[in-house]
Amino acid sequence: MEEKKNSSFATASMVLGIIAICTSFIPIINNLSFFLGILALIFGIVAIVKKSKLGKCLTGIILGVLSIVITLALQSSWSKSLNQLSNDLNKTIDDTNKTFNEMSGKSTDEILKNSAEVVLGDFEVSNNGYYDETKLEVKVTNKTAEKKSFSIQIEAVAADGSRITTDYVYANNLTAGQSQTFNTFEFVSDKVEALKNATFKIVEISMY
């Protein structure tokens, strides 16, 4: 009876080891494989101590140890892959949000600080004998290392803070470090006097 009991430990060790090694490659299920492997190891050691058949004992112990090692190795690898996937996904979301903000004008301060230099000249008025010609020169420089386009909204503000009028600059396909000068507020004959004393400021800039 004792020998049969000892043989049961060896058989249980081997069976648990086989199940553990077969399921150790399956995600989630291999959590159970880990514990089955431990049981196979324990039963195998108990069977050896009780002098059961060595073949079954060693088979159970070896399969149990292998299932534990495989489970831990695969879970570590899957964990790193999931973390990398999560990091890549977060980066993609961040890049998408950044690009959206740049294109929608929500990153005006950041663009002016890092990507574009916009220099506003003085408002100029000259009469050609028939009507007043006006202009405000705007120089746009691409500070990035890539080809970029910029859309800039410029506002003329009166001394009391009220808006007089606005104008836009579209600097398309500026290469890295390239500058381009534009004339704005050219057709404002009805607002010339107000614009002479106006303050000009950049309201919004988009980059794409």
Structural domain harbouring 49: 2-101
What pLDDT digit, counting tens, does each position of 11-30 carry? 888 898 899 888 888 887 87
Which of 70, 101, 132 corresponds to the end of one domain? Answer: 101
The answer to whether residues 74 and 144 belong to one domain is no
For 146-180, how does the pLDDT look when each residue is reduced to its tens digit (9 = 90+)? 999 999 999 999 999 999 999 999 999 999 999 99
Domain ends where: 101, 120, 149? 101
Rounded Cα distance between 20 and 42, Å, is 13
How many residues in total does the chain contain?
Answer: 208
> Which segments of 47-101 are extended strands (E)?
none
The CATH number linked to 126 is 2.60.40
Q: Of 101, 134, 161, which closes a domain?
A: 101
Do 95 and 125 lie in one domain? The reply is no
pLDDT for position 34: 86
Instruction: In whole angstroms, give the CA distance from residue 61 to residue 38.
Output: 9
Say if CB 169 and CB 89 are below 8 A apart: no
Average pLDDT rounded to a whole number, residues 68-93: 83
